[in-house]
Every structure is written in C-alpha cells, then in structure tokens.
Amino acid sequence: MKFIIQRQQLISSVQDVMKAISSRTAIPILTGMKIEAKSNGITLTGSDSDISIESFIPAEEDGMINADHIEEGSVVLQARYFPDIVRKLPEKTVEIEADENFNVTIQSGKAKFNLNGQDANEYPQLPKLQTENSFEIQSDLLKNLIRQTGFAVSTMETRPILTGVNIKVENETLSFTGTDSHRLAAKSIPLGGVNFSLSNIVVPGKSLNELSKILDDKGEKVEISVTSNQILFRTKHLHFLSRLLDGNYPETSRLIPDHSQTVLHVKRKELMDTIDRASLLAREERNNVVKLITKDHQSLQITSNSPEVGQAAEEVSIQSIEGEDLKISFSSKYMLDALKVIENDDVVIEFTGAMRPFIMKPANDDSVLQLILPVRTY
Amino acid sequence: MKFIIQRQQLISSVQDVMKAISSRTAIPILTGMKIEAKSNGITLTGSDSDISIESFIPAEEDGMINADHIEEGSVVLQARYFPDIVRKLPEKTVEIEADENFNVTIQSGKAKFNLNGQDANEYPQLPKLQTENSFEIQSDLLKNLIRQTGFAVSTMETRPILTGVNIKVENETLSFTGTDSHRLAAKSIPLGGVNFSLSNIVVPGKSLNELSKILDDKGEKVEISVTSNQILFRTKHLHFLSRLLDGNYPETSRLIPDHSQTVLHVKRKELMDTIDRASLLAREERNNVVKLITKDHQSLQITSNSPEVGQAAEEVSIQSIEGEDLKISFSSKYMLDALKVIENDDVVIEFTGAMRPFIMKPANDDSVLQLILPVRTY
C-alpha cells in the first residue's frame, strides 16, 4: 500500500473516524484505525462495539487531486499515535507506505515516522446493511432533531432502553423522543414520500451525539437505513453505523397531559436568565429545585432557598397568564436544558397542577415538546 | 454597610481576590471574602495560608464614579456563591447592603439575593509589612521573569525549597531562578538605584503563577517589599502578599558549565516543532526521551524510539555547529518547556559532553539561561 495525500483532508477524516475508536475495547485490533487504499481513493475505518465509522477520501473530487501515486492495499495503525502524527507533520502532503510486514512509513518533508502496523485482514468486516426501510433527510435538520431531544436521555444504566432516543416514522412524520423518566423531549418533522412506518427504533444517545459532531451544517443529504438491530447514516463520503438498543421503548404519549389549568406566555431568554440566577442558591438541594409562583394572574416569581446560605427571589415579566394561580417546584437543571434548545423568543408553558407534569413549547410551534415532572417540596 | 457599585468593576476585583481563596482551609472564615466599604472606596480581601490578596475599588477615579451611596461597614460573604451571583446579575450596577446581623442583600434590577454573612471582625488581620527592602519594577517585566523561570520549579514536596523561585537582588541586578534539580531556568534584568542586596528569598511558584494572572500587561508599576518571611507585591489598587519558603536555596551557579565542547546555532521554531513531533513516539518511555545527534559538523538529527510502536527521525537545518560531534539524550518535555519561553527566533545550545548538563540561550542575549540535565540511555 502506498499513497500521497493532502494532509488537511487526511486530518479531517481521521478526526471523524476517531469518534468511533476507544482505547478500552475487548477486541485489541479495534484500538487501531484501518487504512485502505484503492485506485479511486482512501478509506479510513474506526469501530467500537457501538459505532462504526467509515470516511472516504476520493482520489479526485471537483477537479482537485486529494490523493495520488496510489498503490492499492490496506493496513491497521495504532490510533493512539497516528492522529497526533498527522496533525503535527510539517508539510501540506503526506506519503504513507506499508510493506508486506505491515511496517508503515509516514513521511512529510524531512519528518519520517516508522510505525508497526497490523494485518488489515484481521480487522472485522463491517456488516452490509440490506434494507428497504430507508429515507433521506438534510444534515442540519437531523442535527436539530438530535440537539432538541438527545440531552433528555437517561445517563443511568438502570433502564438501558432510556439511554437511547426513540426514532419513529409514521404518517409521513419523523419524530425523535428522549426521556430519562423525569423529563421528556420530543420533536417531529414532516417526511414526504415515505410509504413505511418504523416505531421501536432506539438509537444510543451517545451514538447520535457523536454523529452530530461529524455531520456538517450545510444541509447535505443523509440517507438513513434501518434493520432490526442496526442503523446506518450515510452521506457522500461517510458511513456511520450504530447498533440499536434492545427492548421495548415505553409508550410516552400517555404521559403528555391533554388539558391544562394554567397557561403562561413568557420571554424565553428572561425566564432562562432568572432561573439560572435562582439556581445558584439551589445547589445544595437535591435536583437544584427552584419554585415558580404566580400571583393574581399578573405576576410570576422565581424563588430558591438554601437554608445555610440564603434565598433568591426575582420577578419575571409575563406576556399573559390564563387559568388558575399556581405554586410549583422543579429542577432548575431540567428547565434550563429544555429552555436552551427551544429556538424561539417566546415560549408557552402549560401546567395541570402542582403535582402533574407540565409541558413547554415554542409559541406557535407544535413540532417541539418539552415535558418536565415537578418536584414535591411539601 | 451599604453601597451601589459598577458591576464590571466588582466582577474584575472579585476575580482577582478569588485567586487567594480556597474551599479547603483550616480556618473556616477564610473560605469567605471580606468586603469593606469606606467613604473613599470598597476593598475586597481573600486569603489562604500562602497568599493574601486585597483589591481596592476607588469610589471615584479619573472622574468616573465606581461606587456611591456608601455607608461604611464590613462583612464576610461565602466565596462559593458570591462570584457567580455577581457575574450573573442582570443590570450594570449592584446594590449591596448588610444589616447588624450580617444579613446581606444583593440587588440588581428585579433580582434580589439574601445571603447569610459573617462578622468581619472575625476575619484575620493581614500583617502590615515594615521593611526598607523595597524596589519597583514594571508589571510586564515582572510577568516575563515569572514566565521564563516559574515553569521549572519542582512540583514535588520532597525538597520543598525547590517548589519556589529564588529571587535575588545583587549589584543592581534582579534575578529569578527556578529548578527542580533536573533542569534550571534563570533570568536577570538590570535594576537601577537599589542600594541593598537580597539573596535567599524563595517565593512559592504557585504564588507567582497566581500573581502573574492578576497583573496587567500594560507596564503599570509594581512595588516589591520583602521581610524575613513574606513578600508584598503592590500596584495602585492591589496588594498581593505571599509567604516565603523556609530553608536555604541551593547554590545553583556551580551547576552552570563554564566551557563547552559543542556549540549549536539553530532556529528556535524549527527545533521546537521537530522535538514536538519526535516526542509523539517517546511517550512510552520514562521522561519522554528523545535523542539529538550531530554528524560531520554539518547535520543535526532528532530521533525517538518506542520499541512497541515505532521510530521517528528528522533532520533539523542548522545555522552553525562548532566543536566536537555529539550524541545526547534528554527529556523532550524539558526541552520544549525551555524553548517555549525563549523570545528569540535564534537559539544557541552549548554542550560539554553527553553526560553533562547543557545550556540554551537566545542568540545574543545573556539575560536568559535554560539548563537541562541529559538522560543516560546506555
């Protein structure tokens, strides 16, 4: 194997593929990165037990030469050293060569590295996905779906299924849902021309988080294909494969209240800043609890109390308040997480009593739903 | 106590003073920050067992009002909450008020915090330094002295005296020296009009590091006063007091070789980048050892070797090489630390054999000296 490659292209592909490589893995060769040279380009592969990523650098693209002097072949290199070496090399191009004993030479200008490689035949084959269940979405929309739901998944392994995001395709709608059983985040977007439905697809939150870091924001097309135990996200030069979580995702629709007793319209930023300040004196308490109090249908107050330290209280201006007056306590962290991902200056909060879950939405937008369970403080 | 203060001024003073406050201290009141209001301005004080910092905000300065509505008094506030509160308040000004029971109210716009304060009379008095041994230096020069020597102090408590920087005043010269017994960094500058000498002043490296973060780069005057066990750095609005280390600082001048067998002139950046690259394959080894080899008085090579992983080798262009050819091994970390703080494109390295300490200086500048002990690799 031999090729000369543009270093910037290589750095960016290596960075993407590294997101799938872990130094702690049961299969030693997976601590390495597979490099495969073919006449049409170079493919890098990384994998752990959850995610596999393949990044392809075409030899030529849009009239630009990315790689040339290609002699076909493949090798596996230790991922602990290769990325730093590539990043710190002095010149714009890098020559990489492997001999029949997998001794690899990496050369750029006067800098020369010899690394012990491994036989690429010992690297596991990635499964080829055979499925009819595939659809396309723009990368910026996909990143948004992940950003607005992924933060709400559970980080605890007590109910493993909740560490994933539930992806559904139904009635030409694509929806993502994340919940840790104390709060829930859901977002749906229309998906035209899809004649199948998917319901129990649960992708590890960590996988989606890594995917989100790799996808660009320019709205390139992502093809999503699903089998019974894997999901593949494919762009022009990238294959991102994740395992699915086993088990039945809970039916979440019945958690969402269908009526409300108190409806608040407030400015998102002002509410967020006020809760952020109040949370400073809620640290001592379990869950960073703050309290929201409405008075006489016209004022809204956020308070917190940490007996040893002190109290905070602040009024928030409201645009409107309908229904009954309310006192309710909740985790300031959950509330801030939810407010952060809402992309609208105005939010609507609908309460059905101090002990019932409440929901929060951008004003005039039903595609996003944030649900939070209150905290009992009496 | 009561006053209204510009929030930006308060934030910046609080940040400075926080550098002396530790949440782990044997004296509980020292986890707090003392606030003292007088008619001419507000003083904040923080202290741990090593450092004390006082920051003064004048009520009026250059025709600008920083604080007004001042009612004199003082209080101590828990430093765990106060800085975040001040930072997150909504308006440009903050009103702070303490009643006779040390209940403190902090108000800015609609945000109101009540904090439990403590009696400032229980806060320890900072010692007043009485000394004739004081001199002045510009803050940018002082920061440079610290930057070029402080990194070389020991981080191990086995020889506590080496965790400090030795400050000397002799023959109208101010010099700073740091060493961990494997390397040494020294820098001296002329100090006019000083008619005393100081030799065994050893300031904890950590103190100087914190001081360096607080001082501005604009060249304001710093007055330095020394007693037998403390040192005070004083600017217009800041008092920075540090304890001195007990014990005798070792005589370092005899470590510095007075002749050389091989002298190299090289470009600093190129040597630094090359050693940085070679160090990637020196990680496995104790001390990140790389090797420097000269050949036939005309070429210089840097190599590293990590048997399990591979080798790196790279030639460095040299401007000149005088004396005998040489093979020497050293810690790449020590070499990079020293090269980073040299402020010159060209460096001179003087060797006196593979087993002897070598020195490195900026070309045409004897005020800085970096000494490194080689590593035996045979």
Q: Is the dihedral of CA A126, A127, A130, A133 positive or negative?
A: negative
**Which letter, b or e, does each residue of A159-196 get, where b requires 16 or more Cβ atoms within 10 Å of its Cβ?**
eebbbbbbbbbeeeebbbbbbbebbbbbbbeebeebee
Q: Do B311 and A281 count as a contact with CB atoms less than 8 A apart?
A: no
Chain A nearest CA to B271, separation (Å) = 12
Q: Binning pLDDT at 50, 70 and 90, where does residue B228 land? A: confident
Enumerate the residues of chain B whose CB falls inside 8 A of the CB of residue A81. 280-281, 309-310
Shortest distance between the Cα of A198 and any Cα of chain B, in A, equals: 45
Q: Quick one: what percent of chain A has pLDDT higher than 70?
A: 99
Least confident span in A151-165, A280-294, B97-111: A280-294
Q: Mean pLDDT of all residues in chain A?
A: 94
Give yes or no for residue B286 having a pLDDT over 70: no
**To 10 degrees, the CA torsion angle through A146, A152, A158, A162?**
-50
d(CA B350, CA B359): 5
Residue B377: its pLDDT value, please?
Answer: 74
Length of chain A as a residue count: 378
Residues 6+ apart with CB under 8 A from A277: A312, A314, B85, B88, B89, B90, B111
B278: closest CA among B264, B292, B268?
A: B292
Average of per-residue pLDDT across B77-83? 94
A293 interface with B at CB cutoff 8 Å: no
- Is residue B165 helix, strand or coil? strand
Backbone phi, psi, residue B47, to 5°: -160, 145
Per-residue pLDDT tens over the stretch A200-214:
899 999 999 999 999
Q: Is A337 on the interface with B (CB under 8 A)?
A: no
Cα atoms in the Cβ-side hemisphere of radius 13 Å centred on B105: 16
Helix (H, G, I), strand (E, B) or coil at B285: coil
Burial of B64 (0-12, 13-18, 19+ CB in 10 A): exposed
Q: Note whether B213 contacts A: Cβ–Cβ < 8 A.
A: no
pLDDT of A194 reads 86
Give B156-210 pLDDT, tens digit per residue: 989 999 999 999 999 999 999 999 999 999 999 999 888 889 988 999 999 999 9
**Cβ-defined contact of B111 to A310 (cutoff 8 Å):** no
Count chain A–chain B contacts defined by CB atoms under 8 A. 78
Answer yes or no: do B85 and A273 touch at CB < 8 A: no
CA of B39, closest CA in chain A: separation in Å?
28
CB A54 within 8 A of CB A87: no
Chain A residues lying within 8 Å of B89, measured CB to CB: 277
Rounded to whole angstroms, the Cα distance separating A302 from A285 reads 16
**Residue pLDDT, tens place only, B10-49:** 999 999 999 999 988 889 999 999 999 999 999 999 999 8
Closest CB to A90: pick one of B84, B273, B311.
B273
| pLDDT of A376 | 83
Q: How far apart are CA B187 and CA B175, in angstroms?
A: 6
**Residue B90 in contact with partner chain A when CB distance is under 8 A:** yes
Residues A278, A270: Cα–Cα separation, whole Å: 12
Chain B residues lying within 8 Å of A311, measured CB to CB: 113-114
Set of chain B residues whose Cβ sits within 8 Å of the Cβ of A280: 81, 84-85, 88, 113
Distance, in Å, from the CA atom of A179 to the CA atom of A164, rounded to the nearest integer, reads 8
Residue ranges of alpha helices (H) inside chain B are 7-18, 82-88, 139-149, 205-214, 268-279, 332-341
Contacts of A112 in chain B (CB under 8 A): 312-314
* pLDDT confidence of residue A285: 56
Reading the block at residue A73, the tokens are 């072949």
Q: What's the distance, Cα to Cα, between the start and end of chain B in Å? A: 70
In whole angstroms, give the CA distance from residue B99 to residue B120.
12
Average pLDDT over residues B125-144: 88
Q: Coil, strand, or helix at residue B210? A: helix
Phi–psi pair at B281, nearest 5 degrees: -100, 20
Question: What's the alpha-carbon Rg for chain A, to the nearest Å?
Answer: 25
% of chain A residues with pLDDT over 90: 85
Q: What are the structural domains of chain A?
A: 2-122 (3.10.150.10), 134-253 (3.10.150.10), 256-372 (3.70.10.10)
How many Cα atoms are found within 13 Å in the side-chain-facing hemisphere of B318?
21
Say if CB A186 and CB A369 are below 8 A apart.
yes
- A76 pLDDT above the threshold of 70: yes
Tokens of B117: 């304060």
CB contact under 8 A, B273 and A84: no
Instruction: State ipTM.
Output: 0.89
What DSSP designation does B129 have?
Answer: P
The answer to which of A23-27, A128-132, B263-267 has the lowest mean pLDDT is: A128-132
User: B89 in contact with A at a CB cutoff of 8 Å?
Assistant: yes
How far apart are the C-alpha atoms of B371 and B358, rounded to whole Å?
6
Chain B neighbours among A 306-325 (CB < 8 Å)? 308-316
Instruction: Kindly report the nearest CA distance between residue B36 and chain A, in angstroms.
Output: 20
Q: Amino acid identity of B195?
A: N
Test A113 with B310 for CB contact under 8 angstroms: yes
What pLDDT is attached to residue B285? 56
Inter-chain residue contact A110 with B314, CB threshold 8 Å: yes
Instruction: Please tell me the distance in Å from B178's CA to the nearest CA on chain A.
Output: 30
Q: What is residue A168's three-state secondary structure?
A: strand
Question: Sorting pLDDT into bands at 50, 70 and 90, what band is B284?
Answer: low
Contact criterion met (CB < 8 Å) for B111 and A78: no
Average pLDDT over residues A36-60: 96
B218 compared with A377, residue with greater pLDDT:
B218
Q: Residue B337 and residue B334: Cα distance in Å, rounded?
A: 5
C-beta atoms surrounding A64 within 10 Å = 9
In 3D space, the residue among A112, A80, A87, A84 whose CA is nearest the CA of residue A97 turns out to be A112
What pLDDT sits at residue B127?
Answer: 79
Residues of B within 8 A of A115 (CB-CB) are 309-310
pLDDT computed for residue B283 by the predictor: 72
Most confident option among A284-293, B258-267, B285-294: B258-267
Share of chain B above pLDDT 70, in %: 99
A85 vs B contacts (CB less than 8 Å): 277, 280
Per-residue pLDDT at B193: 83
- Contacts with B104 (C-beta within 8 Å, 6 or more apart), sequence order: A310, B75, B77, B96, B97, B98, B114, B115, B116, B117
Higher pLDDT, B120 or A219: B120
Strand partners for A299? A295
Q: Could A81 and B113 be called an inter-chain contact, meaning their C-beta atoms sit closer than 8 Å? A: no
Partner residues linked to A64 by β-bridges:
A61
Q: What's the rounded Cα separation, in Å, for the pair B318 and B298?
A: 8
Tell which A residues from 99 to 138 touch B, by Cβ distance under 8 Å. 104, 110-116
**Considering only CB atoms, which chain A residues are within 8 Å of B288?**
none
Distance between CA atoms of residues A56 and A76, nearest Å: 16
Residue B254: pLDDT over 90: no
Q: What are phi and psi of B97, to 5 degrees?
A: -140, 135
Contact B111 A309 (CB under 8 A): no
Helix (H), strand (E) at residue A336? helix A332-341
| Among A302, A138, A332, A130, residue whose Cα is nearest residue A229 | A130
Hey, are the CB atoms on B90 and A273 less than 8 Å from each other?
A: yes
CB–CB contact B85 A277 (8 Å): yes
Chain A contact set for B111 (CB, 8 A): 274, 277, 312, 314
Separation of alpha carbons B107 and A314, rounded Å:
10
Q: Which residues of chain B neighbour A315 with C-beta distances below 8 Å?
A: 110
